[in-house]
Amino acid sequence: MERKGDNAMELSIEEKWKRSRAALSMLLGTSIKAISESYGKEGLEKVAKAWEENNKKASKRLMEIVGRQERNLETVARIIDFTDSIYGVEGEWTEIGLKRAIKIEKSCPLAKQFPSETCTLCFSGSMQGIARGVLGHDQVICRMPKSLPGGDDCCEIIIEVKE
């Protein structure tokens, strides 16, 4: 039985996706908060490691999706841009070199749903997994010293290849 003013079936694909993304980000944020409250930083580090391993394994397929074969930070950047486009994140790379890449993200529709650790630990681990999978080694670190959910004016992603 349809309620008055409730025409969810008539929403555009884009509107359905926006609502789905908002609902899923709310659930993710709530889950991360519960893990943090129950298990502290150790629990969040386990989530970050799981996300890293997942994306390390997925990197080959992600390289195919973005149409790149080169195992460098430019490819890592393109994959992150691809995933950001799914989530509605807006930002730009201020540096992409052989040993370091930096992205500044000014707008993220998900950020308001997350505790800062979702970005600084978990998404950082996720991107580290992409970088390690693409580059084919573990001598790369991803960190996020600034985050929108943490009250900063941007998310700053720094990916560095260590010697």
Average of per-residue pLDDT across 113-134: 93
Instruction: Work out how many domains the chain is built from and give that number.
Output: 1
Q: Which structural domain range is residue 30 located in? A: 13-161
Tokens of 9: 């079936």
Is 2 a member of any domain?
Answer: no
* 1: confidence class by pLDDT, cuts 50, 70, 90: very low
Integer Cα distance of 2 and 8 in angstroms: 10
pLDDT tops 80 at residue 7: no
Find the Cα–Cα–Cα–Cα dihedral 116, 19, 109, 92, rounded to 10°: 120
Report pTM: 0.88
Q: What is the CATH number of the domain that holds 21?
A: 3.30.1380
